Structure formats: C-alpha cells, structure tokens
Amino acid sequence: MATIAPFAFRPEPLPDELLSSWMLRTAAGMLMKPYDFTHTYWRSKPPALTRDIDRMAPANIITGMAEGTGIPLARAYQTTLGGYAGSLFGEMNAQGFAPWIMPVGVRHRSRQSFGQQFCPKCLAEDERPYFRRAWRIATSSVCVRHEVVLADRCPDCGESVAAHRSPRLDRCWKCECALRDAVTRVADPEVLRLQAGFELAIKNGWAVLGQGVVHFAPRYFLLVRQLLSLVSHGPRRTRFLRAIGEHRWAHRMPGGPIEPAGGIEYLTPSARHDHFAMVAWLLWGWPDLFVEAAQKAGIWQSWALKDMRDVPWDYQRAVRPDLVRASYQPTDGEISAAIGFLDRTRDRVWLDELVELIGDNKDLKQKGLVKFVNEFRVMAG
C-alpha cells in the first residue's frame, strides 16, 4: 500500500471525534471539498464518504489518515465505531448487524436513517464544531454535560444529518440550517445517571450491576439491550411497563406501541430516553425488581430470552429459576397475543416459532395449539 505524504493541514482528532468528522475537518482545513479530498488521496476506492466509514473502518483510510496527519495508527483507529469492541460489544461486525450501532442507512449519498445523533448545545459551544463517536451508539440518548436529550435531525426541514454533503459540518445539508438551533428537551436525572454509568463502563471495560457484582462490559450491555427490547417491543410490553410503572413512573410511561422495524437501534433519542428511564429502575433493583415486574406482566422464560442468542449468566440466573413455571399453560389471550405479534413481524406464522415464543412444552404443542392452527393462519411445520 502506497504511503500518504503529510497533509498540508494535520489536525489531531478532537476528544472522542468520529472518523468521518475528523476527515471532513481535515478536508475543510485544506480548502478541499470532501469528495475532492478523498479522491485525491484514495482515488475514491472505496468511495469513502458515501458509505458508513465510521462503522466499516477501511484499513487504507485509517492508515492514510494516520500517515497524513502524523498521528499513531492506534489513535486513528479509535475514531471508528470498531473501537468499541471489547467494551460495548464483543467483536465488531462491520458488514452485518452490530448491536448498539445506530444505522445511518447510507444509500447513493443520501442517508435515510437517523443514526447520526448530536447535542445541539455541544455544537454551539465547540470552538471547532465536530461529531462525537458516542453520538452514533444507541446507549447515548442524552448529553451528560448539557443534561438534554440528543437530537437526530435538522430542526427546520427534518432531514437526517449528512455532514459530507453539507457546506459546513454543523449545518443541515439540505436547508443549511444550523444544527445547534435544534430545540432540546431536558433529560431525566435517572437517565443521566444511567448514561454516565454506561460511559464509565465503556471506558473501564466493566460495569457494576445490582448489589455490586462486577461484570465484563460486553456482557453487561447485552443484558441492558435485552431489557431495553422488553420495555420497547413485543406483545407483553404494555403489561410489563405497567408493572414497572406501579412502582413510581406511572405518570410518565413511554407512549403507545412503537416497535420500529429492526430493533432498538431505530428508536429516536427521545423514545430511547423514555425507555431507559424504565431500564434504569430495573437495573437499580436488579434482579428482584425485574423478576417481580416480569411475573406480574406474565413474561415467562421464553419471552424473557426471546431473540437472545447469547444469554449473559446474570440474566439467565435471574430469569431461569424465577420465571419458569413447571406446568405452565398459556391462556387463549396469551396465545392470541403471541400470534398477533408474529403476524406483525413475520411473513407467515410458523407453529414452531409460536411454540418457541410461548413455551417449548411438548404437550402444549400437541394439544393446546391445535385449535389455533385451525382457527388462525398458523403454519404447521
């Protein structure tokens, strides 16, 4: 690989700066348009800024930025979302699904997803406005410094952020409105505390849960993600929220069904903020409050473990002994709710999937579900 000569302008990444932001600032400092900058140094192979380079972290771009600015390669790599491997998640999956990484949906230079969050007050305060890496992950719903909920779109025209198409990093690419003018919502103190804890866990690589038990951070975040899924998705959601709300938050329950396609990474910062308030409560009283609320809501093992391929031990320990009912028989209402859920989220409702969702009891499969197979459009097989 050819080496890159030092750039005329060699800025270091600012604290927690994102790779794309650092590249755009470098290009601007050299009075080059973003496309000209990447084309000059990388021949636009790959066409860097039209893809999610913060997530994909192409080796030639990272190396080129390190060489061009004269900073260590390891520091350059820390500007990418892959830098969260070993803290927010185990390993980075640059192509397929990556938990907590918010999608920017880059397609033909236009970004269709609202995954580039920002704090308007940080941008307003910055001497040199820039995008933080933490604004691309779904654990961030608030700015701990300014105590506000993050924004994710232009305050004027509502477009998502696409800084590489914008004349200035901190302006909307479409209407050129200043992103710092976005109206902010005051953050809930519980969510601020929770997020400060997340940030510490990412920094340290470990987290404390419930009664002071220390956890490897990726396992802790796996558990947090499952709790966030339970409070924001699925047919048991409303009852689960009600059971949690009985404790103290009934007056500000998150609103109606949301269930965005694709999971929690597609929720707006505001919706994640509201749901994290519930998660904060569950984590604070872990595992007792979770078990109590899950029992009240009728969440049993298969729901609680739903879609979890890799179950953290602490979660398993909380879920297994307390939420397994030996001779459990789902009520007709519960089965209907499960069918309705599958119907909304799948092309067809398969009996096996239904059984997996409501309990893997063999008798149940043979007897209890037969009438539903006939009555509803449930596919046996």
For Zn ion, the closer CB: 150 or 264: 150
For the CB of residue 238, give the shortest distance to Zn ion in the complex, in Å: 33
Q: Which is nearer to Zn ion, 145 or 203 (CB)?
A: 145
Please give the residues from 19 up to 38 whose contact with Zn ion meets the rule CB under 5 A: none
- Using CB under 5 A as the binding rule, the residues of this chain from 289 to 328 that contact Zn ion are none
Query: Could you tell me the smallest distance in angstroms from the CB atom of residue 276 to Zn ion?
Result: 17
Nearer residue to Zn ion within complex by CB, 126 or 353:
126
Q: Is 242 in the site for Zn ion (CB under 5 A)?
A: no
Question: Closest separation between CB of residue 216 and Zn ion, Å?
Answer: 29
Applying CB under 5 A, which part among 65-73, 167-175, 249-257, 343-351 lies near Zn ion?
167-175
Q: Which of residues 104-163 bind Zn ion (CB under 5 A)?
A: 119, 121-122, 143, 145-146, 154, 156-157, 159
Measuring CA to CA, how many Å separate 242 from each of 11, 59, 248, 295, 296? 51, 48, 10, 12, 9
**From the CB of 270, what's the least distance to Zn ion, in Å?**
15
CA distance 294 to 319: 9
* CB-nearer residue toward Zn ion: 145 or 325: 145
**Ranges of H-type helices in the chain:** 19-29, 34-42, 53-56, 59-69, 73-77, 120-125, 189-204, 217-232, 237-245, 269-284, 288-297, 301-304, 313-323, 332-345, 351-358, 362-363, 370-375
By the 8 A CB rule, do 104 and 110 touch? no
The counts of H helices and E strands in the chain are 17, 8
Quote the least distance from Cβ 15 to Zn ion, whole Å.
12
Least distance (Å) from Zn ion to the CB of residue 121?
4
- Bridge partners, 178 (sequence order): 171
Q: Select 121 or 165, whichever has its Cβ closest to Zn ion.
A: 121
Residues 6+ apart with CB under 8 A from 6: 67, 68, 69, 70
Structure tokens, 117? 């969050």
Distance from C-alpha of 198 to C-alpha of 213, rounded to nearest angstrom: 15
Q: Quick check: 165 binds Zn ion (CB under 5 A)?
A: no
**38 or 160: whose CB is closer to Zn ion?**
160
Of the candidate residues 53, 137, 162, 172, the single one contacting Zn ion (CB under 5 A): 172
Taking the complex as a whole, the smallest distance from the CB of residue 156 to Zn ion amounts, in Å, to: 5
User: 3-class DSSP state for residue 362?
Assistant: helix
Q: CB of residue 349 vs Zn ion: minimum separation in angstroms?
A: 42
Task: Give how many residues touch Zn ion by CB under 5 A.
Answer: 14
Q: How far is the CB of 118 from Zn ion (least distance, A)?
A: 9
Residues 293, 298, 299, 300, CA torsion sign: positive
Q: Which of 290, 287, 289 lies closest to 303, judged by CA? A: 290
Instruction: Return the range that interacts with Zn ion (CB under 5 A); candidates 100-108, 176-184, 223-231, 357-365.
Output: 176-184
Alpha-carbon span 106 to 110, nearest angstrom? 6
Q: Which of 30, 85, 177, 311 binds Zn ion (CB under 5 A)?
A: 177
Q: Does 175 bind Zn ion (CB under 5 A)?
A: yes
Asked if residues 109 and 50 have their Cβ atoms less than 8 Å apart, the reply is yes
Nearest residue (CB) to Zn ion, 56 versus 143: 143
**Where do the H-state alpha helices sit in 206-246?**
217-232, 237-245
Other beta carbons within 10 Å of 374: 9
Q: Which amino acid would we find at residue 84?
A: Y
Binding span for Zn ion by CB under 5 A among 68-76, 84-92, 170-178, 201-209? 170-178
The least CB distance from residue 41 to Zn ion, in Å, is: 30
Measured from the CB atom, the residue of 131 and 290 that comes closer to Zn ion is 131
The residue among 157 and 380 lying less far from Zn ion, judged by its C-beta, is 157
- Which residues in this chain contact Zn ion in the complex, by CB under 5 A? 119, 121-122, 143, 145-146, 154, 156-157, 159, 172, 174-175, 177
